[in-house]
Amino acid sequence: MGVRVFFAVKLVEPIYSIIETVLLNLQQKLSIPIRWSAAENLHVTLAFLGQIEAEDIERLIQYASLELENQRAFYLKFQRLKLFPNKRHPRIISLGVASNPNLNAMAAGLKQAILNLNYSIETRPFRAHLTLGRIKNVHPTDDLLEPIALPFIPPMPVKEIHLLKSRPSQTCSDYTSLAQFALN
């Protein structure tokens, strides 16, 4: 039976608390139908596999370890709130993440680990972001996010990468860490 997995950076304190406050603020200010991400599930996805055979997980962990063994710890810088794919037909509210060579190298390395197992990878360019909510069939006439101010969010240290198992449901997904990869 298949397991739905992906590689991600999980939030750490104090960033977690700051972004949890941002999420609560958005929930209060936006009255359109949105399926909000659970604060404890917030993460930056590096590589998404979708369904993988359970027996391939150990080999995936080995390949990922090889790809990540020389990667150094770094800082993530969060940017502004964004709507995907665009403001006129938004489907996702996210918090942007500044481009970072370390993050980009890790995403590319993890995609290679996935290819080594003969699984397909995402072909769109990697754009790091933090999904805050999924918008349901709304076509706003103005920018939903314009009146919303963000607090200062300091750079977040990234010292480990996680392989997460996802169990989606109607209300939210449940994530379990299958492996952690410490960075130098």
Q: Report CA-CA distances (Å) from 105 to 43, 80, 110, 115, 174.
A: 18, 23, 9, 15, 27
Q: Which residue has the tokens 């995402």?
A: 122
Contact criterion met (CB below 8 Å) for 122 and 79: no
Distances (CA, A) of 112 to 10, 37, 45: 21, 28, 15
Given the residues 43, 89, 139, 162, the one annotated as active site: 43
- Is 162 labeled as catalytic in the residue annotation? no
The CA-based diameter of the chain, rounded to the nearest angstrom, is 49
Q: How far apart are the first and last CA of the chain?
A: 35
Concatenate the DSSP letters of all residues of 119-181 into one string: -----SPP--EEEEEEE-S---SS-TTTTPPPPP---EEE-EEEEEEEE--SS--EEEEEEEE
The verdict on whether 139 is a catalytic residue reads no
Tokens 């709130």 label which residue?
81
Q: Which of 89, 129, 139, 162 is catalytic?
A: 129
Q: Which residues are catalytic, by number? A: 43, 129
